[in-house]
Amino acid sequence: MTRAAQAEQTLKLARKSAALADAQRFAEHALSYCTPECREAVTLAVCELGENLIKYGSGDELEAGTIGVSIEDDTVRVRATNRVSSEEDALRVRELVSQIERSGGAVRELYRARLQELFEHPELPRAQLGLLRMAFEGGFRLTCSYERSELQIVAERTCAGPA
């Protein structure tokens, strides 16, 4: 297998209590030859997306969704796909991804604004920080599609090279 195009490694995330620990292990091993910084970013993305799949995925299925990790040339890609239980949730995710995309380099301000909201309104039920952290801390570019109850989020970033 060459680094130029590594086939996507996929985790089917089960709806069980150990799922996020499984996701973390999967992420840590998926790109073992990348730089520590890249591996850290991928672990963050896989864990945040995995948590979202479990929280917001359709509740009537044993499998919460799938997460794939692949690399092509110098780009690492994390892809999460699941069926959502609420169209409203899916549209909210799509809007947030769109905001992050529009923000360009100002994603820190979006992240700060969300933390400020949570600081001022501790009663808010959802943190909704995962995608913002992926963009801000992980340096990922995000895209999102929603069709026929299926939500797909793709996160891409540059991987500088092997460790």
In angstroms, give the least distance from the CB of 134 to other proteins: 10
User: How many Cβ atoms from other residues are within 10 Å of residue 26's Cβ?
Assistant: 20
Residue 131 makes CB contacts below 8 A (sequence gap 6+) with 48, 93, 96, 97, 100, 142, 153
The answer to whether 69 touches 78, Cβ cutoff 8 Å, is yes
Residue 19 vs 71, nearer CB to other proteins: 19
Residue 163: helix, strand or coil by DSSP? coil
Residue choice 77, 79, 133, 157 for contact with other proteins (CB under 8 A) = 133
The amino acid occupying position 114 is R
Longest dimension (CA), the chain: 50
Alpha helices in 1-154 (DSSP H): 19-30, 36-56, 87-103, 107-120, 130-136
In angstroms, give the least distance from the CB of 3 to other proteins: 21
Binding mask 31-70 for other proteins (x = CB under 8 A): -----xx-xxx-xx--xx--x-------------------
Told to check if 17 binds other proteins by CB under 8 A, we report yes
In angstroms, give the least distance from the CB of 105 to other proteins: 14
Residue 65 vs 130, nearer CB to other proteins: 130
Residue 31 vs 84, nearer CB to other proteins: 31
The answer to whether 96 touches 131, Cβ cutoff 8 Å, is yes
Stretch of 81-89, 93-101, 106-114, 142-150 contacting other proteins, by CB under 8 A: 106-114
In angstroms, give the least distance from the CB of 123 to other proteins: 10
The answer to whether 162 touches 38, Cβ cutoff 8 Å, is no
Footprint on this chain of other proteins (rule: CB under 8 A) = 17-18, 20-21, 24, 27-28, 36-37, 39-41, 43-44, 47-48, 51, 108, 111-112, 115-116, 118-120, 122, 127, 129-130, 133, 136-138
